[in-house]
Structure 1
């Protein structure tokens, strides 16, 4: 099912930016920056992670779910999707 991930390059790029952002927050903490600045940056990372999660979900729906339905694996893919959503949306 890996070949149907149209957004994977964008996902990887976004995760790399988030990784850099988290490193910069760590440096801000080491530099004893103001707590409100740290919290603002953490909120930005959370939002970015949520957006990556949405893109991964879109990728999954457009690729894996469609492919599974075409091959008659609806029950399995719906179960897996429900499990993933329950973990993602807490």
Structure 2
């Protein structure tokens, strides 16, 4: 009988935190934790729109558009980025942090603290 398999991490997953930090952690067999974020599709859709918006602002700059117009558009992108970050952060708290607290995963909690510090600057 081999008991070392119990300690083997069978399920590993990665998140990108609000500040762009990539966090990967594992859950062993007993956790029953599949990592399906409820909001992934919404986040990706928002990011696609953001990328499109930034591209159009870049074109505005290339076309020599009025600086104040460019700044207004950049401000809109900034608040949209904050919106996406909030969704990711809330999602992370609902899923991963609940598990981290349950499993007393100090590392995951420390990483969340770092991400929050980066996010709220």
TM-score by length of 1: 0.91
Task: Select 2:100's aligned residue among 64, 68, 87.
Answer: 68
Task: Select 2:90's aligned residue among 38, 58, 63.
Answer: 58
Task: Select 1:27's aligned residue among 59, 65, 70.
Answer: 59
TM-score by length of 2: 0.69
Give the aligned CA root-mean-square deviation in angstroms. 1.2
Deviation track 1:16-51 (CA, whole Å, cap 9, x = no partner) reads 000000000001111111011000000000000000
Instruction: Provide the rounded CA distance (Å) in 1 between the counterparts of 2:78 and 2:116.
Output: 17
* Higher-strand-fraction structure: 2
Are 2:81 and 1:49 aligned? Answer: yes
Instruction: Provide the rounded CA distance (Å) in 2 between the counterparts of 1:78 and 1:64.
Output: 9
Structure 1 residue 77: deviation in Å? 2.0
Q: Closer, same or farther in 2 for the Cα pair 1:24/1:41, shift >3 Å? A: same
The higher relative CO (CA closer than 8 Å, separation ≥ 6) is in 1
Contact 2:100 2:109 in 1 (8 A): no
The residue that corresponds to 1:79 in the other structure is 110
* Structure 2 gaps, min length 5: 1-12, 15-34
Structure 1 residue 14: deviation in Å? 0.4
